[in-house]
Amino acid sequence: MSTAPTPPALRDALALAEVILEDIELGRTTLSAVMLKSSRLARLLNDFDHQRIFEMEAGGVPSSPSGVSRDVWRLIELAGRTYQEKAKEVLNTYGYTKSVEEIEQELAIGRVRMEAAQDRNIAISSANPTQYVITPGGNAQERNALHKAHLQSTKWLASRRSFVHSYVQRRFHELRFSQLAADIFSSVRSNVDAHLGEVLSDAPERLSSIEQNLATARPEDWSNAVHSCRRLLQSLADALFPAQAEPRVLPDGKKIKLGRDNHINRLMCFAQDAAVSNTYASVVVGELQFLGQRLDAIYEATNKGSHTTLRLEEARRYVLHTYLLVADLLSLKSDLKPLTAD
């Protein structure tokens, strides 16, 4: 379970993920310390399941004489901490509850015990009390048991190392991509903020309203943000390609209306007239059709009293598409280099 983290948290998470990967790959610290750092990483990403998992990795799985709770068992399975054993021809699944620190301690103690088991023992000969007999330390059964336990602990620790490394590496690449996307959108947004005011005098207030509506926890505000995107495109159409009484005849003979309510058609005509590249014009027209249909559908559903709930992620996508479209249209008007050209 998780929710979207804030941009500052994403930056902190990316830096922390890089540190954790270096800790694991260079062996700079204990794995139990890595688990605590990974718990913080999951917290920054609002990934609450993995935050709890890494806390269990570091401190052990909470259990009682009767076992573990259903929710804890779910996290055990998610963490890959299960193993199977057969008893009376029945294959049972169990959960491994020891913490990483316990496993590390067992390995350290096991190494000492195995070394001691290899030391030679000096004892008085039973045949001749005046002589000493030197024998190998411990016995073969003891050494085999110690070796088996050491291998098992090593296997479990390797499993935990692989689990946390896989999680952090995946998150690292996701965050790197998110940062790249954020940088690209930031560039687009700066362009829109700088030039939209030249076309629409109230552009700053409009953009600020969209941003404020997205920042709340109320679905009705998210819908308002989407409606504001539709009104923004309507106003932009009025400025770039005013309404016309006569329809336009397309190359295929089809007529499209260019009236007051046909703002998407008017923006499409503007793009086709202004673009120096047919390919670029086609891209902008396709995006206009895609976004226009969806914004109109949401607007009409709202006017009909529909109770369709718009999710925050959907609203964000519509706002993002609107920004990209406005940037394309402004680039055509201001002779800026298009984002896509032949």
Is residue 272 a part of any domain in this protein? yes
Please give the share of the chain, as a percent, with pLDDT higher than 70. 85
Report if residue 279 sits inside a domain. yes
The region that residue 306 occupies, defined by phi over 0 for left and psi between -120 and 50 for alpha, beta otherwise, is beta
Specify if 322 maps to a domain.
yes
Of 104-108, 221-225, 332-336, the one with minimum mean pLDDT is: 332-336
DSSP assignment of 278-325 equals: HHHHHHHHHHHHHHHHHHHHHHHHHHTT--PPPPHHHHHHHHHHHHHH
Domain count, the chain: 1
Tokens representing residue 278 in the block: 């047919």
Which residue type is seen at 130?
T
**Residue-number span of the structural domain to which 209 is assigned:** 200-333
Whether 338 is covered by a domain: the verdict is: no
In a domain, 314, yes or no: yes
* pLDDT above 50 (res 246): yes
For 132-173, the pLDDT digits (tens) are 555 555 566 667 777 788 888 888 899 999 999 999 999 999
Residue 225 lies in a domain: yes
**Residue 326: inside a domain, yes or no?**
yes
Backbone angles phi and psi of 254, in degrees to 5: -75, 140
Could you tell me how far CA 87 lies from the centroid of its own chain?
41
Q: Is residue 72 part of a domain?
A: no
pTM for the predicted model, two decimal places: 0.58
| pLDDT for res 342 | 39
The string of pLDDT tens digits covering residues 304-337 is 655 556 788 888 888 888 888 888 888 887 654 4
CB contact at 8 A, 311 and 318: no
